[in-house]
């Protein structure tokens, strides 16, 4: 059924379809009996073997299942209820910047069906930290009013504004961290998007230390400290990844998300002429699968599995998720797979997932 629907949706511009689909789901979930039906249809059945615990020095987070939605899908925390109904164990909102910004010019999202991939150059378009924090506060208040303990874990993916110079980037991360602190369960520092000029330079060890150490210094003053993770690019060399690992151990980082989109274009089935017309942007989906798994393996090997890893890149099935878990990840995130496989992807992965021994 979804294959037919997807073929129809793929006739229209990707970004327009994204918001049309999510706004339709939002409307349907506003009707109580329909929302209950959607939740029953797509939520994986309760299964103790799928419950995942992220134990950090700060806190213990319990995930109803290990399948999450990566940052960039619900940038502005508008669809948390709807995504919970689709069974996600966790959702990462953002990337959030201090000030609202429109992102890059459209079109900025492109499908590569022959490669089960996407290219995006969104450019951190979002409503800004204050407005997004307000939505998250409202979400939390609604859960409390309904006396409902949400099963959905919320991550806050934070970044810098395009206009902020790299030497001042640490200030932007601090603003976002402070604004979202009371409303998210964990943070992910995003210095690896290829769509904000100069951002990836912040992955260098000294620049990264300044950002992360400042957040850790703030974090330890709070009575309810939050886990802080770092999202890295798949384009880092092994030496650069080792530098990230050394820094993560030095400042006692709580985890790493591996990996973001790639600027590489090797081995694609889509004609080179089409790729050239699309231009710059981060490539996600199946072409990133192998490299992200390799990075997870490297982190796990170098740290003796002492740093938790969230695996991201090319996950479309239970076998794909199991590959990441076997490599050393404790949780996985989908994004492009969600577009290609449809709203049943979480239930499908959880049903087919064989957890590593």
Summarize pLDDT for 193-227 with one digit per residue, the tens: 988 988 888 888 888 999 999 999 999 999 999 99
Q: Looking at the predicted structure, is the pLDDT value of residue 356 above 70? A: no
Higher local confidence (pLDDT), 8 or 57: 8
Write down all domains in the chain, each with its CATH number in brackets.
2-109+120-261+286-352 (3.20.20.70)
pLDDT class of 1 with cuts at 50, 70, 90:
confident
Per-residue pLDDT averaged across 70-76, rounded? Answer: 97
Indicate the range of 37-51, 116-130, 216-230, 234-248 predicted with least confidence.
Answer: 37-51
Per-residue pLDDT averaged across 50-64, rounded? Answer: 86
User: What pLDDT score was predicted for residue 355?
Assistant: 60
Indicate the range of 74-78, 141-145, 232-236, 265-269 predicted with least confidence.
Answer: 141-145
Q: What percent of the chain has pLDDT over 70?
A: 98
Q: Which of 260, 266, 257 shows the shortest CA–CA distance to 331?
A: 257
User: What pLDDT score was predicted for residue 270?
Assistant: 98
User: Active-site residues: which are they?
Assistant: 193
Cα angle 39, 43, 45; round to 5: 125
Distance, CA of 308 to CA of 59 (rounded, Å): 13
186 phi, psi to nearest 5 deg: -155, 165
Q: What is the pLDDT of residues 266-310, one digit of tens each?
A: 999 999 999 999 999 999 999 999 999 999 999 999 999 999 999
pLDDT class of 149 with cuts at 50, 70, 90:
low
Residue 178: CB partners within 8 Å, gap ≥ 6?
Answer: 218
User: What pLDDT score was predicted for residue 43?
Assistant: 92
User: What pLDDT score was predicted for residue 205?
Assistant: 85
DSSP strand E in the chain: where?
Answer: 52-55, 60-63, 67-69, 90-96, 109-112, 117-120, 153-158, 186-190, 228-232, 255-258, 282-285, 309-312, 331-334
Per-residue pLDDT averaged across 227-243, rounded? Answer: 95
Q: Looking at the predicted structure, is the pLDDT value of residue 232 above 80? A: yes
Interstrand relation of 117-120 and 109-112 (parallel, antiparallel or unpaired)? antiparallel
- As beta bridge partners, residue 327 has none
Q: Looking at the predicted structure, is the pLDDT value of residue 357 above 60? A: no
Q: Looking at the predicted structure, is the pLDDT value of residue 58 above 80? A: no
Per-residue pLDDT averaged across 68-74, rounded? Answer: 97
163 phi, psi to nearest 5 deg: -80, -10
Sign of the Cα torsion 266, 270, 272, 278 reads negative
Q: Which of 16, 21, 72 shows the shortest CA–CA distance to 261?
A: 72
DSSP character at residue 288? G
User: What pLDDT score was predicted for residue 57?
Assistant: 75
* C-beta of residue 190 within 8 angstroms of C-beta of residue 157: yes
Q: 230: burial class by Cβ within 10 Å (0-12, 13-18, 19+)?
A: buried
pTM of the model: 0.95
* C-beta of residue 171 within 8 angstroms of C-beta of residue 202: no
User: What pLDDT score was predicted for residue 354?
Assistant: 64
User: What pLDDT score was predicted for residue 38?
Assistant: 97
Sign of the Cα torsion 178, 182, 186, 190 reads negative
Describe the crossing of helices 14-29 and 32-42 by its angle, rounded to 10 degrees. Answer: 120
């Amino acid at each position: 059924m979804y294959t037919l629907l997807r073929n129809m949706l793929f006739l229209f511009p990707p970004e327009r379809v994204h918001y049309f689909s999510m706004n339709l789901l939002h409307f349907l979930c506003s009707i109580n009996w329909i929302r209950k039906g959607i939740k029953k249809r797509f939520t994986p059945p309760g299964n103790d073997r799928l419950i995942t615990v992220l134990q950090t020095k700060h806190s213990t987070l319990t995930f109803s299942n290990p399948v999450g939605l990566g940052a960039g899908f619900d940038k502005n925390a508008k669809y948390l209820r709807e995504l919970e109904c689709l069974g996600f164990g966790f959702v990462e909102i953002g990337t959030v910047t201090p000030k609202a910004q429109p992102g890059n010019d459209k079109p900025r999202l492109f499908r590569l069906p022959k490669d089960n991939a996407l290219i995006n150059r969104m450019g951190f378009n979002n409503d800004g930290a204050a407005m997004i924090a307000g939505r998250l506060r409202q979400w939390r208040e609604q859960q409390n009013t309904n006396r409902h303990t949400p099963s959905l874990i919320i991550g806050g993916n934070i970044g810098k504004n395009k206009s902020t110079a790299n030497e001042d980037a640490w200030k932007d991360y601090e603003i976002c961290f402070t604004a979202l602190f009371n409303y998210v369960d964990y943070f992910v520092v995003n210095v690896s998007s290829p769509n904000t000029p100069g951002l990836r330079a912040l992955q260098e060890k000294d620049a990264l230390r300044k950002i992360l150490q400042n957040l850790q210094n703030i974090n330890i003053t709070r009575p309810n400290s939050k886990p802080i993770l770092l999202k890295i690019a798949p384009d880092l060399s092994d030496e650069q990844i080792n530098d990230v690992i050394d820094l993560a151990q030095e400042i006692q980082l709580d985890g790493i998300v591996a990996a973001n989109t790639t600027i590489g274009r090797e081995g694609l089935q889509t004609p080179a002429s089409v790729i050239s017309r699309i231009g710059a942007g981060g490539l996600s989906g199946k072409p990133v699968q192998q490299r992200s798994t390799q990075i997870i393996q490297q982190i796990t090997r170098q740290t003796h599995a002492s740093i938790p890893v969230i695996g991201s890149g090319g996950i479309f099935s239970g076998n794909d998720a199991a590959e990441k878990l076997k490599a050393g990840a404790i949780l996985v995130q989908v994004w492009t797979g969600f577009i290609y496989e449809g709203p049943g992807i979480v239930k499908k992965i959880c049903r087919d997932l064989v957890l590593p021994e």
